[in-house]
Amino acid sequence: MYEARGKSLWGRAAALCAAILLALTVCVRGAYAQEKTVIPLGQAVGIKLFADGVLVVDVSELEDGRSPALQCGIREGDLLLTFNGEKIVSTEHLQKLLRENGDKEAQMTLQRGQAHETVNITPVCGDDGSVRLGAWIRDSMAGIGTMTYYDPESGSFGALGHGITDVDTAQLMSLGSGSIMETTVKAVKKGEKGEPGELKGDFSVQRDVGTVTVNSDGGIFGTVSDADFPARSQAVPVAGAEEVKCGRAVILSTVSGEEIREYQVEIVKVFRDADSTRNLLLRITDPELLQATGGIVQGMSGSPILQNGKLVGAVTHVMINDPTQGYGIFAENMLVRAG
């Protein structure tokens, strides 16, 4: 009887401690977000990412029916890291290593998910002198996105509100290095039902204005290196998730040239799952934006969402069957993922 009661008391004490700890965590998280101020941007930028290794986007047989990659177990989505002990830095570098190796057996290390493996592979020499593995590979990606915020205290920024994934494998790109560049939006492909639109622009490839150091499911993050970039200067508080309400809000976005404009939206629904990156259901209500883009288009990801004078989130996804609607992430969740 005593033993059972003792266990019950210990269980209650443990539950109470856990409840207090959870409450303190929520309070600290909310207080951090409410005390933090950042500059909301809405500025379109060019983004370049280079993988930490090379990504396998497809594995297939060569003309003679052989495939060294298939034979040693390499799969689509694997990240090739080293070749005979030398770190692979690009597709061109791997091709150079293959030419030097020829058709001798070699050793490669790869990353699959969080696990690392070592495989033995024997490349095939073609009649044209090429040395091949039977794997299509990619080492970089580039595109247009939108900067969400800039923190003048640390010089850091957040953008996109979602991670950059490989177009073929849908895998989050393992980041080796990356940068952002100034861009000018030249045209817009309007979104239609079943076919998302996109922003089209030119990068200023001669000059990087920032460095990307994190590619996460909640956005890309890094530091700004150009003192004259970005242009906006008024900081606002970051809203805690509990402050975000259904109703009117605005987004900042660049859909023409380099001009950042404010557009009316409605927050239709709020999802308060702290681990999710789809926290807000949005509807574009601004007639000018609907006329220009048809709603949310690719390249607008990262457009900051403001409500009651606070940064509450960022646009992340468009609904394919209704481009006037899409999703957003809490700004608080972005800051957590930024570290």
Q: According to the model, what pLDDT value does residue 168 have? A: 80
Q: According to the model, what pLDDT value does residue 17 have? A: 42
- Given a contact cutoff of 8 angstroms between Cβ atoms, the answer to whether 292 and 188 are in contact is yes
Q: According to the model, what pLDDT value does residue 21 have? A: 41
Tell me the pLDDT tens digit for each residue of 238-297. 999 999 999 999 999 999 998 999 999 999 999 987 667 899 999 999 999 999 999 999
Q: According to the model, what pLDDT value does residue 317 have? A: 94
Q: Which amino acid would we find at residue 266? A: E
Residues 252 and 248: their CA atoms lie apart, in Å, by: 14
Q: How far apart are the first and last CA of the chain?
A: 49
**Which residue did the predictor score with more confidence, 225 or 127?**
225
Reply yes or no on whether the pLDDT at 1 is more than 60: no
Instruction: State what percent of residues in the chain have pLDDT above 90.
Output: 67
Q: According to the model, what pLDDT value does residue 101 have? A: 95
User: Would you give the distance in Å from CA 95 to the centre of its chain?
Assistant: 28
Q: Which residues are catalytic?
A: 162, 286, 301
Give the least confident one: 30-39, 63-72, 83-92, 250-259: 30-39
Average confidence (pLDDT) over 200-209 = 79
Reply yes or no on whether the pLDDT at 13 is more than 50: no
pLDDT band at 22 (very low <50, low <70, confident <90, very high): very low
Average confidence (pLDDT) over 115-139 = 90
Q: According to the model, what pLDDT value does residue 291 have? A: 96
Tell me the pLDDT tens digit for each residue of 139-167. 988 889 999 999 988 999 999 999 998 88
pLDDT band at 206 (very low <50, low <70, confident <90, very high): low
User: Would you give the distance in Å from CA 39 to the centre of its chain?
Assistant: 20
Q: According to the model, what pLDDT value does residue 141 have? A: 87
Q: According to the model, what pLDDT value does residue 232 have? A: 66
The per-residue b/e assignment along 263-284, b for 16 or more CB within 10 angstroms, e otherwise, is: bebebeebeeeeeebbbbbbbb
